[in-house]
């Protein structure tokens, strides 16, 4: 019988492909350790994100490939680790933040804040370090949706003032509402909004983050454009509901990001349908399939959908996102899938951009 060796195990793993990145794990430099003790094999695979949508498949493929090529192996232990790939944004802006994600829509009230909050929580639950910025100057709703009542700590060192984000549900949270003097409507001009966002980028102690999610105000006006030019975006997630008016506005939002050269992570369809709890009958209240059609038309990924569920609304009202309050619900599974698709597509964007060696510049002054 042939010996079980590190080389034989590595050769077996050359046959395992990352289905999204379309290369084998050895070429992708994802095999971080191969340990052979007698006939016992243990391997450490390092994924490009802890929220990898294909984690289980890759793990199973590794075990199968080793079993097949090294049948003498008695035990095979494949451990899955992760190191989130960073985008190639300028190093001087948000130096510890690897990826920035904007959640946007053309139309108001389609669920950006709900999706932002749940996406951030779900990414954190997968093991990523995550921050959430409420950049909605018209109506900051993240503090309420996450049950944050305290204000960030201010460290005033005279020359420099630093804000420490509030921590809740495993996230670091900052809201534009924290910077407003009083509650109530505020009239912003583009440069003021951009100034507040710059403050989030430069004066907030974010530390090391895998993902920083920005919940944007609705629309595609000057303010949104200025914000998108100010944040060095790794990618944008577009939220829409299935009906035509929302889709038309979502298309405009997509085009806005294309204008500022920000990659589109994909389209999320919110309020896709409603299932009556008493009869189980499905109602397509806002129509059907609009989100995926839009994604196809614009050649961007479709990230998933969420039904209308009173529990999603209630979670937002009481400050406990669905992914926290209802860990076992079907909707929570959908939110997790959405978060994994976002993370997977960001990895693809980053690795694609790296291969092309084309660093993008944001216009932060």
Chain positions contacting Mg ion, by CB under 5 A: 112-113, 136, 141
**CB of 18 or CB of 309, closer to ligand ATP:** 309
Q: Which does 308 bind (CB under 5 to 8 A by kind): Mg ion, ligand ATP, none?
A: ligand ATP
Q: Using the rule CB under 6 A, is 333 a contact of ligand ATP?
A: no
Q: Tell me how many residues contact ligand ATP (CB under 6 A).
A: 20
Identity of the residue, 84 or 270, whose beta carbon is nearer to ligand ATP in the bound complex: 270
Beta strand 40-47 with 31-37 is: antiparallel
Taking CB under 6 A as the rule, does residue 271 contact ligand ATP?
A: yes
- Contact window for ligand ATP (CB under 6 A) among 65-73, 87-95, 110-118, 167-175: 110-118
**Burial class of residue 293 (count of CB atoms within 10 Å of its CB; 0-12, 13-18, 19+):** middle
| x-or-dash string of contact with ligand ATP, 167-206, rule CB under 6 A | ----------------------------------------
Q: Which does 313 bind (CB under 5 to 8 A by kind): Mg ion, ligand ATP, none?
A: ligand ATP
Instruction: Using alpha carbons, select from 353, 271, 260 the residue that is nearest to residue 310.
Output: 271
Q: Which of ligand ATP, Mg ion, none has residue 172 at its interface (CB below 5 to 8 Å by kind)?
A: none
Q: Partners of 162 in the beta sheet?
A: 155
Binding segment toward ligand ATP, per CB under 6 A, in 104-112, 123-131, 256-264, 335-343: 104-112
Cβ-based nearer residue to ligand ATP, 235 or 307: 307
* Interaction of residue 111 with ligand ATP, rule CB under 6 A: yes
x-or-dash string of contact with ligand ATP, 46-65, rule CB under 6 A: --------------------
User: What distance in Å separates the CA atoms of residue 157 and residue 329, rounded to the nearest whole number?
Assistant: 47
Taking CB within 5 to 8 Å according to partner kind, which of ligand ATP, Mg ion, none is near residue 270?
ligand ATP
Closer Cβ to ligand ATP, 114 or 175, answer by number: 114
| Pairing relationship of beta strands 302-308 and 282-283 according to DSSP bridges | unpaired
SS (H, E, C) the chain: CCCCCHHHHHHHHCCCEECCCCEECCCCCCEEEEEEECCEEEEEEEECCCCCCCHHHHHHHHHHHHHHHCCCCCEEEEEEEECCCCCCCCCCCCCCECCEEEEECCCCCCCHHHHHHHHHHHHHHCCCCEEEEECCCCCCCHHHHCCCCCCCEEEECCCCEEEECEEECCEEEEEHHHHCCCCCCCCCCHHHHHHHHHHHHHCECCCCECEEEEECCCCCCHHHHHHHHHCCCCEEEEEECCCHHHHHHHHHHHHHHHHCCCCEEEEEEEEEEEECCCCCCEECCCCCCHHHHHHHHHCCCEEEEEEECHHHHHHHHHCCCHHHHCCCCHHHHHHHHHHHHHHHHHHHHHHHHHHHCCCCCCCCC
Question: Toward ligand ATP, which CB reaches closer, 47 or 103?
Answer: 103
Query: Candidates 24-32, 108-116, 220-228, 296-304 — which segment interacts with ligand ATP by CB under 6 A?
Result: 108-116
Does residue 23 belong to the site contacting ligand ATP (CB under 6 A)?
A: no
CB of 114 to Mg ion, least distance (A): 8
Q: Is 108 in the site for ligand ATP (CB under 6 A)?
A: yes
Query: Which stretch in 47-55, 59-67, 179-187, 306-314 sits in contact with ligand ATP by CB under 6 A?
Result: 306-314
- Of 81, 96, 109, 359, which one interacts with ligand ATP (CB under 6 A)? 109
Q: Does residue 131 bind ligand ATP (CB under 6 A)?
A: no
Residues of the shown chain interacting with ligand ATP in the complex, contacts defined by CB under 6 A: 105, 108-114, 136, 139, 141, 218, 270-271, 306, 308-309, 312-313, 316
């Amino acid at each position: 019988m042939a010996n079980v060796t590190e080389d034989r195990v590595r050769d077996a793993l050359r046959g395992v492909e990352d289905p999204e990145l379309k290369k084998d794990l050895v070429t992708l430099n994802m095999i971080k350790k191969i340990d052979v003790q007698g006939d016992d094999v243990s391997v450490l695979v390092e994924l490009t994100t802890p929220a990898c949508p294909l984690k289980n498949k890759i793990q199973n493929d590794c075990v199968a490939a080793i079993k097949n090529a090294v049948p003498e192996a008695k035990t095979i232990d494949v451990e899955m680790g992760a190191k989130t790939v960073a985008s190639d944004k300028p190093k001087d802006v948000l130096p510890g933040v690897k990826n920035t994600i904007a959640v946007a829509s053309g139309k108001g009230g389609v669920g950006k804040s709900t999706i932002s909050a749940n996406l951030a929580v779900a990414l954190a639950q997968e093991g990523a370090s995550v921050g959430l910025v409420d950049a909605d100057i018209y109506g900051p709703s993240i503090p309420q949706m996450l049950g944050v009542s305290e204000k960030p700590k201010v460290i005033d060192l005279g020359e420099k003032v630093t804000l420490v984000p509030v921590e809740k549900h495993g996230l670091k949270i900052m809201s534009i509402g924290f910077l407003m003097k009083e509650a109530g409507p505020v009239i912003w001009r583009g440069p003021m909004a951009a100034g507040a966002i710059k403050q989030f980028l430069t004066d907030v102690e974010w530390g090391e983050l895998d993902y920083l999610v920005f919940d944007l105000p609705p629309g595609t006006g000057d303010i949104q454009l200025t914000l998108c030019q100010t944040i060095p975006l790794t990618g944008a997630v577009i939220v829409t509901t299935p009906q035509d008016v929302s889709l038309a506005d979502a298309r405009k939002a997509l085009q806005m990001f294309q204008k500022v050269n920000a990659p589109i992570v994909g389209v999320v369809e919110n309020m896709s349908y409603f299932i009556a709890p008493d009869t189980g009958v499905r109602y397509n209240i806002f129509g059907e399939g609009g989100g995926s059609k839009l994604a196809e038309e614009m050649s961007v990924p479709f990230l998933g959908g969420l039904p209308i569920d009173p529990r999603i609304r209630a979670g937002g009202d009481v400050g406990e996102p669905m992914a926290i309050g209802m860990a076992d619900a079907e909707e929570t599974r959908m939110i997790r899938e959405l978060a994994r698709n976002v993370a997977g597509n960001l990895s693809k964007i980053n690795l694609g951009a790296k291969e092309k060696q084309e660093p993008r510049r944001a216009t932060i002054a």
